[in-house]
Structure 1
Amino acid sequence: MKQGGASILVIWLTVFIDLLGFSIIIPILPDLAVTLGGGKVALAVAALYALMNFLFAPLWGSMSDRIGRRPVILISIFITALAQFFFGFITTFWMLMLQRSLAGIGSANISAANAYMADVSTKETRTRNMGLIGAAFGMGFIIGPVVGGYLYEAEGMMGVGIASGMLSVVNLIMAYLLLPESIREKNPEAVRVVNPVIPLVKAMVHRGIRGIFLLNFLNIAAFSLMQVTAALLWEEHFLLSKKEIGLMFSFIGLCAVLVQFLLVGALNRWLGEKRLLVVGLVIMLIALGSMPLVPTIYWELVTLAGLALATGCVNPSLLSLLSAQAGPKEQGNILGLNQSLGSLGRVAGPVMGGVLYAIDFRIPYLGASFILLFALIFTFDLFRKRVIQV
């Protein structure tokens, strides 16, 4: 079902507000985890969020094929609101673990949002519209970390929890009032995915889907090595405050939005999805490896701009290529499984990142570059064998 710009705008705003509520806590979470958990290894608590994504993204995706995108998105936003309010009351490490788990369950709705965007897209607009989802992430990261850093220093944990929770409530009301259903014919025979491993194995029978799944896993694992340790890197080695760390994350978001809105469409028309993916992987490899090595914060900003450009090329290209491999009645399921497998990358990233950072602050970033080098070699092999169809 191809709908007009109004539907695309509403789903974009839904994802944006959802990510805004999430990104408010980004400058706070690493230091909070280390303080409550007693060491940098406690950064692995971030893996709980991703683990819940892994378990629930296929469920939300398959349920959206079965009962529709709209009810799944509404339920998951409600769960996210509960998790964000609870953040303001955290005083122990187990409460932090519970909050990250609950937030991970709610945020797994991105599979339904991606499926919604696929529903309302044509072949010609698919990459551009998937890029808009990335832009929503970017906009959330522009505003959220800055607000979170300032709120934490002014109002403490309670202020951050209430603010992020209220944003999710606004998101829920807006989606309830304005978000139409995107599929006319639901698939009541779609299987409810409770165990994500079984459908993952079945989906991987398709060589093209299997290849993109692996690329997405590697891409996210590499990025997560940076994401979970960046706040500590900037605080310990560049002597930044919470407010300044929030500004750094916001800079990434701003660059990502500019890339998504101004460059992705033109670059895709010029290079095509396959070449755009390769270019993005090369730039990301260089940017992540450079982050702990640059001498000043200004050069760090250059690497972050490169990282934003890379993610703007890689993420929509992978989503668009994956959508092209899936049938019209399995978009939610396949995109949900893709998010679920990507969540395993977000599990691996924080677990490895905390341990590696405790050894040496440079190792997580150099390790991310090696992961992306392997991903790049694997991409060339997939394209050479013509495994992926466009």
Structure 2
Amino acid sequence: MLAASTNVFLFTLARVPAGIFKHTLSISRALLADLVTEEERPVVLGQFNTASSMGFILGPVVGGYLAELDGGFYLTAFVCSSVFLLNAGLVWLFPWSEVKLSGPEDDLPRGRNQALWGKTDSATQRAASAQGTPVSKGPARLPWAEVLATLRGLRSLVLSALWVVFVVRLLMAVAVMLNYSNFVLALEERFGMGPRAAGYLTSCSSALGVLAGFALGPLLRLYGHQSYRLLLHSSVLTSTLLLLFASARGLDVAVACSVLLSFSTAIGRTCITDLQLTMGGVRAGGSLLGMGQSVTALGRVLAPILSGVAQEVSPCGPPGLGAALGFVAVVIMSRNRPHSGGQEGDELKSE
């Protein structure tokens, strides 16, 4: 639709379905959460983020080359559409019958999650049979009823346990995006670095972010597979690097901070996704990942506004404000340590 657009109205209209259905990365993360065990999940998500980061490195290069050709935008849109069709074909051909998805009885913490999400149909039938009540084999609930039940469960879950994770995700997202929103302009104003050199620095940082996916496994083993502690320490590192970048007087310090930021943010992004899935349970995985994406999108809305105001005050303003928000997130995590179910988590481990 984007490639075939001939006016602004069609171009705007084509953005609607693209914006709704393009989130295949979030769906893939939810699927991976069903396919792997809880202990393997952070490592697998880190490897998945590594693969997607490689795509983010190659995509702008290929898109920029195609855009310079005659009719480059339309050609780029058709190529992107072809890639999505290729993905759909791969999913269709994948031998799903040979894949064992982990069910709620294997991965959901008991007690709290049952109260939030309700009993399954089989559990309801067993309870009714035990009480001598005849079970009617009526049709399943309508899709809109399932959606409402899911939203009610998510609301209870977020208010009871996950608010810390989402607040931290919002603060860290705004903190990092404050630095990157005017990154090239800040480098030019503070150090006289040109756009080409800034582009090379961005590519180098992205490459280090790819390496972070491979380093996640050894780091988790070092931390005893405690994602929360690793997230806390990566957030401290991110905030410290932002503060050092804001106060840097030399180009070498600024470059070192920018490169290391990609590593710490990649680690933190994977850990906070794993925390969402651990605390919410597999059954809520897709919905929680969607809420996490919405929180990040809110950060993308707030960051340019705050960055513009801070940039007017000083070229060091955006990373300095980001460092302050990052340390606020660290304080919140230190004082409100989230639990993945307490007694329920112990029961899950014993099973």
* TM > 0.5: yes
Match of 1:327 in 2: 281
- The CA deviation at 1:141 is 3.4
Answer yes or no: is the 8 Å Cα contact 1:276–1:317 preserved in 2: yes
Q: Structure 1, residues 205-231: CA drift from partner, whole Å, max 9, x if none?
A: 331x22211111111111111222113
Task: Please list, as runs of the form range in 1=range in 2, the aligned pairs for 1:22-37 lying within 5 A after superposition.
Answer: none
Q: Structure 1, residues 284-307: CA drift from partner, whole Å, max 9, x if none?
A: 102222334434544333112211
What secondary structure sits across from 2:159 in the alignment? coil
Q: 2:181 aligns with which of 228, 242, 252?
A: 228
Q: 2:89 aligns with which of 177, 199, 207?
A: 177
The separation in 1 between residues aligned to 2:13 and 2:313, in whole angstroms, is: 28
What secondary structure sits across from 1:139 in the alignment? helix
- CA RMSD after TM alignment: 3.7
The separation in 2 between residues aligned to 1:228 and 1:328, in whole angstroms, is: 34
Answer yes or no: is the 8 Å Cα contact 1:142–1:249 preserved in 2: no
- The CA deviation at 1:353 is 1.6
- The CA deviation at 1:322 is 1.1
Please say which of residues 107-116 and 318-327 is displaced more in the overlay. 107-116
Among all aligned residue pairs of Structure 1 and Structure 2, give the percentage whose two residues are the same amino acid: 23
Match of 2:32 in 1: 117
Answer yes or no: is the 8 Å Cα contact 1:282–1:376 preserved in 2: yes
In structure 2, runs of 5+ residues without a counterpart are: 105-139, 346-351
The separation in 2 between residues aligned to 1:240 and 1:166, in whole angstroms, is: 35
Answer yes or no: is the 8 Å Cα contact 1:145–1:250 preserved in 2: no
Match of 2:218 in 1: 266
Closer, same or farther: CA 149–178 of 1 in aligned 2, 3 Å? closer
- The CA deviation at 1:109 is 3.9
Q: Structure 1, residues 89-110: CA drift from partner, whole Å, max 9, x if none?
A: 99x9x99988887764444443
Match of 2:253 in 1: 299
Q: 2:243 aligns with which of 289, 303, 327?
A: 289
Q: Does structure 1 residue 364 correspond to structure 2 residue 276?
A: no
- The CA deviation at 1:123 is 1.5
Answer yes or no: is the 8 Å Cα contact 1:141–1:254 preserved in 2: no
Q: 1:168 aligns with which of 80, 83, 95?
A: 80
The separation in 2 between residues aligned to 1:366 and 1:120, in whole angstroms, is: 41
- The CA deviation at 1:376 is 0.5
The separation in 1 between residues aligned to 2:341 and 2:306, in whole angstroms, is: 30
Please say which of residues 271-280 and 288-297 is displaced more in the overlay. 288-297
Closer, same or farther: CA 193–270 of 1 in aligned 2, 3 Å? same
Q: Structure 1, residues 142-176: CA drift from partner, whole Å, max 9, x if none?
A: 33344556666x559x53x3464244224212212
- The CA deviation at 1:128 is 0.7
Closer, same or farther: CA 388–219 of 1 in aligned 2, 3 Å? farther
Closer, same or farther: CA 104–238 of 1 in aligned 2, 3 Å? farther
The separation in 1 between residues aligned to 2:208 and 2:248, in whole angstroms, is: 19
Closer, same or farther: CA 235–201 of 1 in aligned 2, 3 Å? farther
Answer yes or no: is the 8 Å Cα contact 1:279–1:313 preserved in 2: no
Answer yes or no: is the 8 Å Cα contact 2:278–2:340 preserved in 1: no
Higher Rg of the two aligned structures: 2
Match of 1:336 in 2: 290
Residue identity opposite 1:216 in structure 2: R
- The CA deviation at 1:235 is 4.2
The separation in 1 between residues aligned to 2:16 and 2:178, in whole angstroms, is: 19
The separation in 2 between residues aligned to 1:280 and 1:232, in whole angstroms, is: 26
Q: 1:217 aligns with which of 170, 174, 182?
A: 170
Answer yes or no: is the 8 Å Cα contact 1:149–1:242 preserved in 2: no
Q: Does structure 1 residue 309 correspond to structure 2 residue 263?
A: yes
The separation in 1 between residues aligned to 2:13 and 2:252, in whole angstroms, is: 37
With normalisation by structure 2, the TM-score equals: 0.71
The separation in 1 between residues aligned to 2:11 and 2:193, in whole angstroms, is: 24
Match of 1:54 in 2: none
The separation in 1 between residues aligned to 2:33 and 2:300, in whole angstroms, is: 24
In structure 1, runs of 5+ residues without a counterpart are: 1-81
Match of 2:207 in 1: 254
Please say which of residues 102-111 and 341-350 is displaced more in the overlay. 102-111
The separation in 2 between residues aligned to 1:225 and 1:104, in whole angstroms, is: 23
Q: Structure 1, residues 343-373: CA drift from partner, whole Å, max 9, x if none?
A: 2112111221223223322111111101110
What secondary structure sits across from 1:361 in the alignment? coil
Answer yes or no: is the 8 Å Cα contact 1:215–1:379 preserved in 2: yes
Q: Structure 1, residues 29-58: CA drift from partner, whole Å, max 9, x if none?
A: xxxxxxxxxxxxxxxxxxxxxxxxxxxxxx
What secondary structure sits across from 1:330 in the alignment? helix
The separation in 1 between residues aligned to 2:74 and 2:25, in whole angstroms, is: 23
What secondary structure sits across from 1:333 in the alignment? helix
Closer, same or farther: CA 235–386 of 1 in aligned 2, 3 Å? same
Q: Structure 1, residues 1-50: CA drift from partner, whole Å, max 9, x if none?
A: xxxxxxxxxxxxxxxxxxxxxxxxxxxxxxxxxxxxxxxxxxxxxxxxxx
- The CA deviation at 1:264 is 0.6
Please say which of residues 352-361 and 111-120 is displaced more in the overlay. 352-361
Answer yes or no: is the 8 Å Cα contact 1:142–1:251 preserved in 2: no
Q: 2:331 aligns with which of 352, 360, 377?
A: 377
